[in-house]
Amino acid sequence: MGFSTIPALEDNPLTPEGIALGRWLFYSPALSSNGQVSCATCHPASRAFSDEAPLTRRGVSGRPLARHTPALVNLAWMEGLFWDGGLKNLESLSLSPLTHPDEMGQADLGALMARLSASPETVQRFETAFGPGGLSLGNLLKALAQFQRTLVSADSPYDRWRRGEPGGDLSPLAQEGFALVQRHCTPCHGSELFTDNAFHNNGLDARFGTGEDLTRGRGRITLRDEDAGRYKTPTLRNVARSAPYMHDGRFATLDAVLEHYRHGMVPSTTLDVAFQRGAAPPGLGLEDGEKAAVLSFLEALTDESFLTNPPLGPPGPG
């Protein structure tokens, strides 16, 4: 499918021991300041490692976050992490939620490492993965990155249909939807990853924040006016299981998303050219009768083996 082999990194190669440690850490509430919140608290596997709340309150503070919890799908091939692309690699990804006061709330990472070092079991896990003296913040982040690189989804009904395998029978309606997605959506959702790994203004708002305000989107990272209101294109893989949608979770259903692209887009100075239609209101040229076909195809991108894969779920005792 074009991304079957996980890219190898010289400074953090995948190992069974490193992946196992990363999995254990991903599901461990010990990483949070109150001992009750793990990465999986806001990233459950059954929802494509996303969250059902528009702006989750599941972090240590109980306050709503400013952005919707993104799905964690095929991260090994993603460029520009978070909705604004503020991070470039998985090794640094987990540092943000670890230290955010509303997420895992670790204001003192030295104290966190001291607590982990006090557990012989934890020390042994790190040394199994990284050798003697292996317990360190750097290796913690490396292990989490290794596990997250294994979150590979490429076995949906669509994938099996493309490969000509049993169980890959796409209905005529879903095949029509695939053709419509190719016609209307490939500028942002092209390739087998179903994302262009880029940033776009898709007509959600007319005005944006300034400086480093979160509502400025990609512009808060680049500090360029032309990037205001642009957000990372999420993958369409498992999109039927990762509601709600957009960077702020404003749309509860895929039907609402399609209605936005048909009739709800808001003009602004940075609106992506893919949605501009001259004197006509911005949007995609999707007809009333075509919406059901697109929805059928999006359902066919659901990879049940990914959502229920035991090696990606909580580890057993020991």
Closest CA to 248 of 45, 5, 56: 56
The predicted pLDDT at position 1 comes to 47
**Cβ proximity of 85 and 221 under 8 Å:** yes
In angstroms, rounded to a whole number, what is the distance separating the alpha carbons of residues 160 and 144? 30
Instruction: Kindly give the interhelix angle for 16-26 and 137-149, rounded to the nearest 10 degrees.
Output: 100
What residue ranges in the chain does DSSP mark as E strands? 199-200, 231-232
Binding site feature residues: 39, 42-43, 185, 188-189
Residues in the chain: 318
The annotated binding site for heme c is made up of 39, 42-43, 185, 188-189
What tokens appear for 285 in the block?
Answer: 């040229």
Of 108, 105, 112, 106, nearest in space to 135 by CA: 112
Give bridge partners of residue 129 from the DSSP assignment.
Answer: none
- pLDDT score, position 4: 65
Whole-number Å distance between alpha carbons of 144 and 233: 23
The pLDDT of residue 285: 85
All domains of the chain, ordered by start, with CATH?
16-152 (1.10.760.10), 157-302 (1.10.760.10)
Give the pLDDT confidence score for residue 216 in this predicted structure: 94
pLDDT tens, residue order, the chain (318 aa): 456 689 889 999 999 999 999 999 999 999 999 999 999 999 999 999 999 999 999 999 999 999 999 999 999 999 999 999 999 999 999 999 999 999 999 999 999 999 999 999 999 999 999 999 999 999 999 999 999 999 999 999 999 999 999 877 899 999 999 999 999 999 999 899 999 999 999 999 999 988 888 889 999 999 999 999 999 999 999 999 999 999 999 999 999 999 999 999 999 999 999 999 887 889 998 998 899 999 999 999 999 999 999 999 999 876
pLDDT of residue 3: 65
